[in-house]
Amino acid sequence: MKNINQLISSIIIVLLFSTSCSKDKDTPEPTPTPTINFETNLIGTWNEAQHIIDGDDFSSSGETISFFSNGSYTSVGFTYPWHCEPGAKNDDSGVWSYDSNNNILTLNSTKAQVHWDAMSSQWISHGNSEQSMNVVSFTANEFKVQFSDVNCSQNVVLTFHR
């Protein structure tokens, strides 16, 4: 009986010593989430992943926008920030800027713009438009913006993927 009690005492001491002296050497420190610089990581070509206008999905493939480090941009297949008509398929180019204090991306088109006027059933030309949009979310491979269209007062949400 004495041997069993000594064995149990020894096991308890070893267990207590193991847990009390144990440091979390096996548990790695959490890796901090890297801060993503919007302006630097925006550079490159993005594909439209989703295009929601007033809750309706007008997404289509083949529409891209490219941002360049010199502050210019080009888009292929759409200029939705300046259009009421979801089917408007005009390439665009211009300059972009980012307001980090307010998290706003601004596109200033250098091409003449048109939009569909439902009242007159015709395309209406208008000046070079500037569109500011709220950056809703941004990661290295996805960003989402939301804005109200300058011509139609529609709520537009665009999601882009690399």
Instruction: Give me the count of residues in the chain.
Output: 162
Q: Give the CATH number for residue 48.
A: 2.40.128.540
Where are the extended beta strands (E) located within 82-138? 92-99, 104-109, 113-117, 122-126, 130-138
Structural domain harbouring 62: 40-161
- pTM score, whole prediction: 0.67
**pLDDT level of residue 5 (50, 70, 90 thresholds):** low
Tokens 């500037």 appear where? Answer: 130
Looking at the structure of the chain, the number of domains it has is 1
Classify residue 74: in a domain, yes or no: yes
Residue 129 reports pLDDT greater than 70: no
**pLDDT level of residue 130 (50, 70, 90 thresholds):** confident
The pLDDT value given to residue 131: 76
Sequence-ordered alpha helix ranges (H) in 22-134: 38-42
The pLDDT value given to residue 86: 44
Question: What's the rounded mean pLDDT across residues 56-81?
Answer: 82
Cα 115 to Cα 60, 65, 80, 133, 151: the distances in Å are 19, 19, 9, 19, 8
26 is written with which tokens?
Answer: 């096996």
Classify residue 17: in a domain, yes or no: no
Question: What's the rounded mean pLDDT across residues 35-49?
Answer: 90
Lowest-pLDDT range of 12-21, 63-72, 103-112, 149-158: 12-21
Q: By percentage, how much of the chain surpasses pLDDT 70?
A: 64
